Amino acid sequence: MNEDIHISAQRLIDQDRVEGISLERREWLDRHLETCANCARHADLTDGALRSLRAVPVSLPPALVSRSQMRVYLRAQQLQNAGTGGWALWISCAISWLLGSATAPYIWGAFRWMGQHAGVPDLIWQMGVALWWALPALIAIAILLIEKFGISGVGRWQKCNDEWK
């Protein structure tokens, strides 16, 4: 049990130095470090290693820095634009559904009339009605796929790439 406390303390030391810990855990760790010389030594060694790593200069190729900045910029743009088109799509879907429901008897009658006058079998004009009602959903799916896979963003990416050169 005693060994588990020290392992937990060392993990908390590492976690605190990298990503931070809660205030409650920090208080427990401080109390433990006051009484445990081995864990306090581990904390000092960890701090020294981090200071040494921070002192090492790292030079990166300018092309890598430029590409990284561009990717961060593009990701920020993507996150910023992610929430803007959702409401318009949902509103257009609701309006389409309402209009589709309100005009259903008229569309059905028009397709039946055209099918009877053109001599088209019932199954064919009924499939035409189904396709007529599915058209808004197919357009919405196409818009979502274009946004998800970034098909429309190719020009923006090339423009941003040219700006970073």
- The pLDDT tens digits of the residues spanning 52-91 come to 888 888 888 889 888 999 999 998 888 777 666 567 777 8
Amino acid 162: pLDDT: 52
Place of tokens 């919405």: 140
Torsional sign, CA 113, 117, 122, 123: negative
Q: Which domain holds residue 11?
A: 2-55
Q: How many domains does the chain have?
A: 2
Query: Whole-model pTM?
Result: 0.39
Taking Cα atoms as reference points, which of 20, 18, 21 lies closest to residue 49?
18
Same domain, 32 and 70: no
Same domain, 43 and 112: no
Q: Which two tokens stand for residue 102?
A: 């309100």
Same domain, 47 and 77: no
Amino acid 132: pLDDT: 85
Q: Which residues contact 13 (CB under 8 A, 6 or more apart)?
A: 29, 39, 42, 43, 46
